[in-house]
Structure 1
């Protein structure tokens, strides 16, 4: 049996403050100044349980009517003023003097070692099992990394 086509937010009557569902019931406002993680403002509404549970249009209103009691709907109002995304905040942090110092210190840490072993040497997983055997294999890979560094930087010349 084919699933019925679900109602979209455009099927709900919305005048900016009140939302009415396709069956004529008023939905209650669920949030004042909702802002998504991407910085969009929205107005959210939720149906009352006494209206939604006995409704004859439940199959067209809810994706899983057997699990969900009430319908929720959101109307997006555009980008929020002055709202920064996580990416924007990280860009500002990295571009600051403290951020540049942090990035510089990062290159002197062990991160390049793990990158070299994983991508250049293709150590994606250990081939041996048991803690002692894996420890020996890891030390062998690290020793190989250190010998390679000594060879590249002219040790003994």
Structure 2
């Protein structure tokens, strides 16, 4: 049951904070489909749905434009509606983050969730174009240092901690090279001035390896293929075939009701077909 749940957002990048006089609950977003074609920010909501065989089984409305920050609330909505958690989910790279991977681990949900560079890393051409990236450097666990492309040690110099907008703490270890100015690969190895410093988030790298294992398995490949023709046609049918491109009501509570009616109509049409 839960293995068929998928997630897709209708809108993307936008301002972090905004205020609309016509709908204070909405957020100004740069929509994918701009009928005026001038790139203006417009008040909008980020709609998330879960589907099973193109039936909408769960939906949630979010004022934040970033898909990454919608997954936790969307799963909470599912658990409230069905009284239980999922066993697995399938989602695209918009949801791949350390915070989401950690949440899925805590909930014991198998996450077939891509991260940002997953698709690129499946092609040899991408790997050949980035031979000096941090993930390709050799790590010596005994000495806790990396080896730079010319064989010099990159020593550990401390940690850096980043707090996301949701308050999640990300910790990365920093390693610094020495004498980059005299290196024959200077400029090709890295573009920054001074000695090269790399940041390694050990927890996130572990989670990415786990995601790779799931996504490249036979079951993972089937789930990725299924996501494309399960969830995306639902939005296509609603937006293109039935011309629903904007909400008529204002306020998050009313918008949730409006989208609920749209989802119900979608399911009835699917059942009738």
Is the TM-score greater than 0.5? no
Higher relative contact order at CA 8 Å, sep ≥6: structure 1 or structure 2? 2
